[in-house]
Amino acid sequence: MSVAHQLGLAELRAGLDSGSFSAEELARHFLERIAADRLNAFIDVRPELTLAQARAADARLAAKDRTPLLGIPLAHKDIFVTRGWRSTAGSRMLSDYVSPFDATVVTRLEAAGAVCLGKTNCDEFAMGSSTENSYFGPVLNPWDKAAIPGGSSGGSAAAVAAALAPIATGTDTGGSVRQPAAMCGITGIKPTYGRVSRYGMIAFASSLDQGGAFGRSARDCAQLLGAMTGFDERDSTSLERAPEDFAAVLDAPVSGSQPLRGLRIGIPAEFFGPGLAADVRAPIEAALGALEALGAECVPVSLPKTELAIPAYYVIAPAEASSNLSRFDGVRYGHRAADYGDLTDMYQRTRAEGFGAEVKRRILIGTYVLSHGYYDAYYLQAQKLRRLIAEDFRAAFGKVDIIAGPVSPTVAWNIGERTDDPVQNYLADIFTLPASLAGLPGISLPVGFGALGRPVGLQLIGNYFAEARLLEVAHRFQQGSDWHLRRPGE
């Protein structure tokens, strides 16, 4: 068991099925690693609940049940409400909240036999790009503890990178799966909007929030994502689409040394401008060369509205956040101020105490752009820009199969470096926001290292429902490289 944390899902599956180790032994191994963690990756760990799930998985294994995730440990971003564990969204407002029900994602993964190790740290209400905005303190990057892990799903990404969990869930509103995956040197995928149920996902921006998957490899992400997706009648944005076995696509036989022959990869000029750091550009271009060696053809394309993604997103997302977070008023659940005069004073004191600076900033922006006299000037115009951004992608996908480029303009920056300049954090999302605004799937895979040995990720964006294609391309790349196998400290 001493090296179990170094194994991928295929090896863990083989070990569980053969009886080399039990689900309970595997869970205990990861719980020991989490107990020794110094990254602040987890908010809530409850070994008694984890081990109860592991014993249930062992009973299913003894009955010859064989499903891909049965007995596999995982971690949940603390945006998914989880019965028995605290569900805090990284906020003081919900710091002691224990949900009476499970999110659909949690329910599906528990039914698949996965064993929950705990809840991972995140930016408060998923608002941030660095996981510095958590009430529970920042998460450290396992490659360099002076650096951020990316955000808002930084706890999940750091946990997988540091082998505290083999797989983890995350959420992506403007890049919050892809960006931390890139900065932590692992693989992360955001599916098409509506693929993963938002029921029980604590809302930030409802038209953008989407659950995603983290793993060491594309294969591991395929297994996890396959169990997460599917129609949910309790979510009005859930898409009615037949389930897909994403992992099965990766096992399809290929002949010759160029399994990607015929694949056309679009390279947007707007993703490779002067704002892209040289130490990020070099690994990205090397990865594109490797994809060409596998038979793919790189084709220049244009996404001319890319620069408009930041202003559009930072109008739409705060507007939706201001509406979604109005429910946290101290009346029904969550934090309530201890001292107040009347009901209005209770509301004001509770929200002033319960929300952090970044959440307050976005609530104020959102309330402003939705107010009388400004709705047409800001929110309505941002929605029009969103449609134009989606049209850019539609035109590009008329020429190419997928689009490739960097995830972030730079490698991970130091903790505290941009705390006083939130706009710099917002600008870091320039390459991930367009796909989010269009509702498109995207994947980040590790392709090298930049300054100070900090990881660099390649982003692949697909057309709607092209998750299988993205996973296949990432998998073929990873079959010929070892970036996804490298671990911090090795």
What string of pLDDT tens digits covers the 490 residues of the chain? 678 899 999 999 999 999 999 999 999 999 999 999 999 999 999 999 999 999 999 999 999 999 999 999 999 999 999 999 999 999 999 999 999 999 999 999 999 999 999 999 999 999 999 999 999 999 999 999 999 999 999 999 999 999 999 999 999 999 999 999 999 999 999 999 999 999 999 999 999 999 999 999 999 999 999 999 999 999 999 999 988 999 998 988 887 889 999 999 999 999 999 999 999 999 999 999 999 999 999 999 999 999 999 999 999 999 999 999 999 999 999 999 999 999 999 999 999 999 999 999 999 999 999 998 899 999 999 999 999 999 999 999 999 999 999 999 999 999 999 988 888 889 999 999 999 999 999 999 999 999 999 999 999 999 999 999 999 999 999 999 999 999 998 7
Q: Is the dihedral angle over the CA atoms 421, 425, 428, 429 positive or is it negative?
A: negative
Position 40, amino acid: N
Task: Compute the C-alpha angle 176/182/188, nearest 5°.
Answer: 60
CA–CA dist 375, 383 (Å, integer):
11
Helix (H) or strand (E) holding 211: strand 210-215
Position 248, amino acid: A
Asked if 165 and 50 count as a contact pair (C-beta separation under 8 A), the reply is no
Burial 128-162 (b: 16+ CB within 10 A, else e): bbbbbbbbbebbbbbbbeebbbbbbbbbbbbbbbb
Residues with a known catalytic role? 77, 152, 176
H-only helix segments in 175-277: 178-184, 218-228, 246-250
Superfamily of domain 4-257+447-453+464-485: Amidase signature (AS) domain (3.90.1300.10)
